[in-house]
């Protein structure tokens, strides 16, 4: 396991946490949470990719809420995003944005999330501050655990825009050049698993460390693979990657 210390010297003391609800109202009047759906790997990743694209559009089209710098927000592809630039405060309560499917710019997002939908209702709400450094980080009140979750989302954000398939905290090469075919439409792909933990001799000295799986496997003459996984090449489109709304995330600077 390789560990990399996260440099927080230029980081703010805290980031703001927000709850986001994305509700689709079907043509028959039924309401459904757009962040939920089939739990199988492929539909889950398609849904998460579509949500990422939708969030990017919201950030771009609503500077009155998100400001002008898209890199100041990171989204967990579910019901939470973190920000140092969002203008929504506790006093604003629920901020509601309404859309119709034709307002969604990305055809892939529209197809995956809003087929048979007549209206989209997005609700944003400030839910608190997450302290990412300083004495407020302690195990007793759970803030260290919440800070670790923020760093997990932050360190995944740029990977969503790279040529990788993302499965929770595991990422596998999207390119096919290093694949090892094992027949029946299956192959072995290289990848890695990551997590963020607070490590230190004492609670006061504990600091966030990015840990990356360093288990290496040699398979025939095809080189080294970390955290190998068998997937079906028939199930994953070759062009299935996340589309970033920013090339880099600068929330810590």
Q: Over the stretch 22-51, which tens digit does the pLDDT of each residue have?
A: 999 999 999 999 999 988 877 888 898 899
What is the rounded average pLDDT of the residues 183-195?
Answer: 73
- The residue ranges of DSSP E strands in the chain, in sequence order, are 2-5, 14-26, 31-33, 73-75, 80-83, 95-99, 117-131, 164-167, 170-173, 180-183, 186-189, 191-199, 207-212, 216-218, 224-226, 229-232
Cα distance between residue 68 and residue 63, in whole Å: 6
148-169: pLDDT as tens digits: 899 888 888 766 656 666 666 6
- 114 inside domain: yes
Residue 217 counted as domain residue: no
Cβ atoms within 10 Å, residue 216: 12
74: in domain: yes
Highest mean pLDDT among 125-134, 198-207, 228-237: 125-134
Instruction: Note whether residue 186 is domain-resident.
Output: no
With bands split at pLDDT 50, 70 and 90, how would you rate the model's confidence at 4? confident
Token pair of 156, please? Answer: 């995944």
**Where does the pLDDT of residue 119 fall: very low under 50, low under 70, confident under 90, or very high at 90 and above?**
very high
Domain enclosing residue 110, as ranges: 10-131
CA–CA distance from 38 to each of 9, 27, 45, 46 (Å)? 41, 20, 10, 10
What pLDDT sits at residue 236? Answer: 40
Mean pLDDT across the chain, nearest whole number?
A: 77
Q: Which of 92-96, 123-127, 204-208 has the lowest mean pLDDT?
A: 204-208
Q: Distance (Å, rounded) from C-alpha 177 to C-alpha 86?
A: 41
Indicate the range of 29-33, 59-63, 98-102, 215-219 predicted with least confidence: 215-219
Query: Closest Cα partner for 105 from 160, 64, 65, 50?
Result: 50
- 153 inside domain: no
Q: ∠ at Cα 164 (82, 229), nearest 5°?
A: 115
| Alpha carbon 143 to its chain's center | 20
Query: Pick from 86, 58, 90, 60: which is nearest to 72 by CA?
Result: 86
**pLDDT class of 145 with cuts at 50, 70, 90:** confident
pLDDT of residue 108: 92
pLDDT at 139: 57
pLDDT surpassing 60 at residue 247 = no
pLDDT 10s digits, 46-90? 898 899 899 999 999 999 999 999 989 999 999 999 999 999 999
Residue identified by tokens 């080294």 is: 224
Residue 33 included in any domain = yes
Query: pLDDT exceeding 90 applies to what percent of the chain?
Result: 40
Could you say which DSSP state residue 154 is in? H
C-beta separation of 177 from 214 below 8 A: no
Q: Is the pLDDT of residue 174 over 60?
A: yes
Residue 68 lies inside a defined structural domain of this protein = yes
> What is the tally of structural domains in the chain?
1
Within 10 Å of residue 29's Cβ, how many Cβ atoms?
A: 7
Domain assignment of residue 172, yes or no:
no
CA distance 120 to 110: 11
């Amino acid at each position: 396991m390789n560990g990399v210390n996260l440099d927080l010297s230029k980081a703010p003391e805290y980031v703001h946490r927000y709850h986001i609800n994305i509700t689709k109202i079907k043509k028959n009047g039924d309401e459904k949470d757009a962040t939920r759906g089939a739990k199988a790997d492929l539909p889950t990743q398609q849904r998460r990719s579509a949500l990422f694209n939708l969030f990017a559009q919201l950030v771009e089209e609503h500077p009155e809420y998100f400001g002008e710098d898209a890199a100041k927000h990171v989204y967990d592809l579910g019901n939470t995003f973190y920000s140092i630039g969002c203008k929504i405060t506790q006093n604003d309560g629920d901020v509601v944005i309404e859309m119709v499917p034709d307002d969604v710019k990305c055809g892939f997002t529209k197809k995956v999330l809003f087929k048979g939908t007549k209206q989209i209702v997005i609700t944003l709400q400030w839910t608190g501050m997450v302290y990412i450094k300083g004495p407020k980080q302690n195990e007793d009140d759970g803030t260290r655990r919440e800070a670790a979750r923020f760093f997990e989302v932050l360190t995944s954000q740029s990977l969503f825009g790279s040529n990788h398939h993302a499965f929770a905290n595991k990422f596998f090469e999207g390119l096919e050049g290093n694949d090892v075919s094992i027949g029946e439409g299956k192959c072995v792909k290289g990848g890695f698993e990551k997590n963020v933990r607070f490590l230190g001799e004492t609670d006061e000295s504990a600091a966030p460390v990015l840990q990356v799986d360093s288990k290496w496997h040699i398979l025939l003459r095809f080189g080294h693979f970390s955290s190998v996984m068998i997937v079906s090449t028939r199930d994953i489109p070759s062009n299935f990657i996340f589309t970033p709304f920013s090339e880099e995330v600068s929330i810590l600077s």
